Structure 1
Amino acid sequence: MTPRTEHRPQMTVEEFEELERHAPETVRLEFIDGRVVVKPVPDGDHSEIVAWLQRVCMQHRPELWLHAERGLKTERYRKGRARPDGVLVPVGGLKGHGEWSATDGALMAVEVTSYDADAGRRDRVEKPEGYAAAGIPVYLLIDRDDASVVVFNQPENGRYRHEEKLPFGATVKLPDPVNLTLDTEPLKEFAD
């Protein structure tokens, strides 16, 4: 097991934010579990999946909006910085926010796996822990590696107490406060 860097981060949050401000547009940086992580730039299928989810949310919950690539303060004490592929908030919920928003109004964080070596650990372990610790009620993982959708909910003590994994094509119920049912049949075209 890899030792956690929680008590010895690579840098301070302020140093990370300064580094991230000066990173080239082709690189997206996150500060996860005390270390700098390079998040891959999404491919076309990745972007299409996020666009599909935005359309579904808009059709069924027009009072909410799924923002793509929104910077969030995550983890305990807001010490992490993540850019989920999507964050669902009430319309106008980010008004007045800077580049990194508190997660208070976030109803759901969404990640779509990328094809890189760190995707498994980042999206399946570190992100759920960070989002749960920040109190985001629902975390939706669209996992292209095994053509599945994983719904995490009921955050408590830095972990999601409930997790449900279903294959692409299944009907997926997103619990309170999202209250949305997804027909994931369209995701099958993105499975390898």
Structure 2
Amino acid sequence: MTVMAERTRHMLVEEFEQIASTAPETVTLEFINGRIEEKCVPDGDHGEIIRWLQERCMQHRPDIWLYADDRGLRVAEYRTGRARPDGVLAPKGYFAGRGEWSDPEGVLMTVEVTSYDGDTDRRDRKEKPAAYAEAGIPVYLLIDRDSCAVVVHTDPDPQQGRYLDIHEAPFGKEVTLPDPVGITLDTEILKNYVR
């Protein structure tokens, strides 16, 4: 085991926040399961998916906003994790006056869009859903470009660190994001944003 691996395993969240605050703008860091993770720079299709979802949310729920600017959330066991979802759905103005790492109470949904890298399975399909469930976030939406599917996670069980209801639909099908989101999405356009 390397010194860095040993250091990362026992790193305190305060130490991570110090490192993250000094990272260059070209690097985005997260702290999940006691490990520092570098978040990949999204490609153009990734950005278009987020833009499309922002439009859908605005059209159907003008009282909320999909924040897609690397908003930091305190997540995971006892809120010692730090994640930067691709999107955070919350009431407009929710992040005003909050620091870089906000408490997720009041967040309606987190969104992740898979990247074409080796860590996406572990990060977006396993660790992030567990962290968001532990934080009690009502809905986790995964737009999975590898499997061309939309996966809606609901009914978080913070004690077990998992969502109790998971619904998967292929791109092209309508998908309902249940309350507190309350939006139905026609996902046909997502077929345009995969390799």
**TM-score between the two structures when normalised by the length of structure 1:** 0.94
8 A Cα contact 2:45 2:194, kept in partner: no
Deviations 1:155-188 (A, max 9, x none): 0122100001111111000011001000001101
Q: What is the CA-CA distance between 1:119 and the residue it aligns to?
A: 0.6
Unaligned runs of 5+ in 2: none
Q: In the alignment, does 2:170 pair up with 1:167?
A: yes
Aligned match of 2:189: 186
**Distance (whole Å) between structure 2 residues aligned to residue 147 and residue 190 of structure 1:** 9
- Counterpart amino acid of 1:12? L
1:130 counterpart = 2:131: yes
Q: Which runs of 4+ in 1 moved over 3 A?
A: none
Cα distance in 1, alignment partners of residues 174 and 145 from structure 2 = 17
Q: Does the alignment pair 1:141 with 2:142?
A: yes
C-alpha separation in 2, matches of 1:128 and 1:64: 22
Offset at residue 10 of structure 1 (A): 3.8
- Counterpart of 2:80, as a letter, is K
Q: Say whether residues 1:75 and 2:76 are aligned partners.
A: yes
- Aligned residue type for 1:25: E
Query: Does residue 91 of structure 1 match 2:101?
Result: no
2:40 is matched with: 40
Contact 1:107/1:136 (<8 A) preserved: yes
Percent of aligned pairs sharing the same letter: 61
Deviation, 1:77, is 1.1
Unaligned runs of 5+ in 1: none
DSSP-derived class of the 2:30 partner? strand
Q: Distance in 2 between matches of 1:23 and 1:100?
A: 15
RMSD: 1.2
Distance in 1 of aligned mates of 2:165 and 2:89: 19
TM-score (norm 2): 0.93
Counting matched residue pairs gives: 186
In structure 2, distance between residues paired with 1:26 and 1:169: 34
2:14 alignment counterpart: 14
The 3 A distance-change label for structure 1 pair 28 and 159 is: same
